[in-house]
Amino acid sequence: MTIPTPGTVIALHLNYPSRIAQRGRTPEKPSYFIKPSGSVSASGTPIERPAGTELLAFEGEVALVIGRTARRVSPEEGWSYVAAVTAANDFGVYDLRLADKGSNLKSKGGDGFTPLGPELIPAESVDPKALRVRTWVNGELVQEDTTAGLVFDFGLLVADVSQLLTLQPGDVILTGTPAGSSVVVPGDVVEVEVDAPTAPGAPSSGRLVTPVVEGAVPMAQFGAQPAVDDLQRSEAWGTPQAPKPSILTPDLKARINSVGTATLSAQLRKLGYNNVSIDGLHSTRPDARLLGLARTLRFIPNREDLFESHGGGFNAQKRAFDTLNPDDVLVIEARGETGTGTVGDILALRAQVRGAAGIVTDGGVRDVVAVAALDIPTYYANAHPAVLGRRHVPWDTDLTIACGGAAVQVGDIIVGDADGVLVIPPFLIEKVVAGAIEQEHQEKFIAEMVAGGESVDGLYPLAGAWKERYEAWK
């Protein structure tokens, strides 16, 4: 099959979970930009890194070649409008992103910035969920992933674009890149291949080869000039963004963990906070302390059409678990619905592997024995064998939610033990902990006095002469 010259090249921003984790932002719906047809080049054609720039990055991708006119098609029909797939390289110059304001015209639209080919793989000969994309730089494999776990499948992409834009035969959709994209310099050679290793004959696009050369003509002064900063360098080189420093310093953690939730609750009550406990839950690990910062996930009541649109793929539930970081506690709003599970062993394991501190849900948990065997505690209302879709639609993440009768915001401090779970606004934590430590000192003194035969009258709480005796004891 001969690769046609596309009239339109449409590129997707994010699609592979590995790249999404790297970027630290999770798309709820697909988003796109357009590349000029003049950016298309053939295998073997050099790409010029513009003079005065430093951050030319490659992105190996699967390219869909449209085979017939598509307008307002459904996701189920979308794949049937694809004639072929091939390899693509979505090159971009991060130095020029500032000039684009999100359009990607200068950063990704230059001549030769969209190599395609060299061969087409007929769409009818492959399973769209069984393709593989690989990228090499100077012969070293730097990207490898499959289409099995894409957030947005190919049929959906064709359907989505066709709602407003008529796709014509020969048009191309670039479907996102996996982790591993990075910077190349003049003298490097980048190769991309798409294949279907499990299909009969293991069809392949062949290697799409692009040598990198240095541009000789500087950017004209009347246009935007190259500009770089730490963020652009980090994203171009593919370095994951470091999470913000946690307010839970080792010293603060030690002080919080030195007191029980009952004492913390008493101090919150003294400050006028009476509605900060997440009620009705028990823990898989009542012997384990829970301490972390809230991340949130909200489920809405199940409705068949909404579950169809939001329940599959890399949905809000999976995105929430897949982006947890150390010190995070995932708090789930399940509306107190106990008729189904809200988390099972695989996602709970993913939370542990990501370094999360724990999970709190006011709904059910599946696979309770396996979840309880994990190191991190999970607080839950009940065990239930049913899957999510029986009662819930995973809807959105990292917003203010309700869980077990308490309001929870992202960044709230979550503390739990065998007595229950508390939500502490961060701005109160120092006052609450200082008061709790003092309260537990007093209670230790009181316990010693009671054990020695003293009456609790005037002693608990401390009053009169007992206060003086406590100060001397302390």
The per-residue DSSP string of 2-43 comes to PPPPPS-EEEES---HHHHHHHT---SS--EEEE-GGGEE-T
Domains of the chain: 9-237 (3.90.850.10), 275-424 (3.50.30.40), 434-473 (no CATH)
pTM more than 0.75: no
Q: CA 309 to CA 152: how far, in whole Å?
A: 11
Other Cβ atoms closer than 10 A to 376? 21
pLDDT higher than 60, residue 240: no
pLDDT at res. 382: 96
The tens digit of pLDDT for each residue in 110-130 reads: 999 999 999 999 999 999 999
For residue 60, count CB atoms less than 10 angstroms from its CB and return exposed for 0-12, middle for 13-18, buried for 19 or more: buried
Judge residue 193's burial from the number of C-beta atoms within 10 Å of its C-beta, 0-12 exposed, 13-18 middle, 19 or more buried. Answer: buried
277 has pLDDT over 90? yes
Q: How far is residue 419's CA from residue 50's CA, in Å, rounded to a whole number? A: 63
Please give the Cα distance from 180 to 232 (Å, whole number): 16
Cis peptide before 286 (omega within 30 of 0): no
| Max CA pair span of the chain | 96
Q: What pLDDT, on the 0 to 100 scale, is given for residue 163?
A: 96
* pLDDT greater at residue 77 or residue 469: 77
Q: Cα(202)–Cα(377) distance, rounded to whole angstroms?
A: 46
pLDDT above 80 (res 22): no
Q: Find the radius of gyration of the CA atoms of the chain.
A: 28
**Per-residue pLDDT averaged across 355-374, rounded?**
97
Q: Any bridge partners for residue 85, and if so which?
A: 64, 121
Quickly count: other Cβ atoms within 10 Å of residue 91's Cβ: 26
> What mean pLDDT comes out for the span 253-260?
95
User: Which helix (H) or strand (E) segment is 352 a member of?
Assistant: helix 345-353
pLDDT, tens digit, for every residue of 39-54?
A: 999 999 999 999 989 8
Query: Which pLDDT tens digit goes with each residue over 297-347?
Result: 999 999 998 898 788 777 889 888 988 989 999 999 999 999 999 999 999
CA 91 to chain centre: 24
Beta bridge partners of 176: none
Q: Using 50, 70 and 90 to split pLDDT, how confident is the model at 99?
A: confident
CA distance 210 to 113: 10
**Burial (CB count within 10 angstroms: exposed 0-12, middle 13-18, buried 19+), residue 365:** buried
DSSP string, 313-324: SS-HHHHHHHT-
CA angle 301, 304, 307 (to 5 degrees): 70
How large is the average pLDDT for residues 52-75?
96
Instruction: Give me the torsion for CA of 289, 294, 300, 301, rounded to 10°.
Output: 10
The percentage of the chain sitting over the pLDDT mark of 70, rounded to a whole number, equals: 98
Reading the block at residue 101, the tokens are 């304001």
**Cβ proximity of 184 and 146 under 8 Å:** no
Structural contact between residues 83 and 10, judged by C-beta atoms closer than 8 angstroms: no
Q: How far apart are CA 207 and CA 209, in angstroms?
A: 6
3-state secondary structure of 232: helix
CA torsion sign for 222, 228, 231, 233 is positive
Distances (CA, A) of 59 to 115, 124, 213: 11, 25, 17
pLDDT at 239: 59
Mean pLDDT, the chain, integer = 92
